[in-house]
Structure 1
Amino acid sequence: MVKVFYEDILVGEVLTNRSLTVDEALDLIGFEEQAFIEENGFDDIEYNVFKIVY
């Protein structure tokens, strides 16, 4: 299982048997940038802040 975080916020989880890039993981969980920004009260997000935890 792969968990995708933005800072300390769990964005989603993906069940996989291979390594993923952050972009691939975000695509698989159906990440919607604008909705995430609004839900968390951010002005904008930086993609280099996302991290994957295996």
Structure 2
Amino acid sequence: MAKLFYEDILVDEITTNRSMTVDEVLELIDFDEQKFIRDNGFDDIDYNDFKLVY
């Protein structure tokens, strides 16, 4: 199981049996950047602030 966070916000959890990059996970979950920005009241996001926790 891996958890994808943006800063301290849990974006999604996935089950995987291998290491993945943040980009791979974002693609796998069909991440909608504009919806995430609206839902969380951000002006913009920095992709460097995403992290995966296994």
TM-score under structure 1 normalisation? 0.96
Name the residue aligned to 1:41: 41
Gaps of 5+ in 2: none
Q: Is the 8 A contact 1:7 1:49 kept in 2?
A: yes
Q: Is the 8 A contact 1:7 1:50 kept in 2?
A: yes
Gaps of 5+ in 1: none
- 2 CA distance for matches of 1:10 and 1:44? 17
Equivalenced residues, count: 54
Q: Report the identity percentage.
A: 70
Runs of 4+ in 1 over 2 A off after TM superposition: none
Q: What does 1:11-50 correspond to in 2, within 5 Å?
A: 11-50=11-50
What RMSD over aligned residues (CA atoms) do the two structures have, in Å? 0.5
TM-score under structure 2 normalisation? 0.96
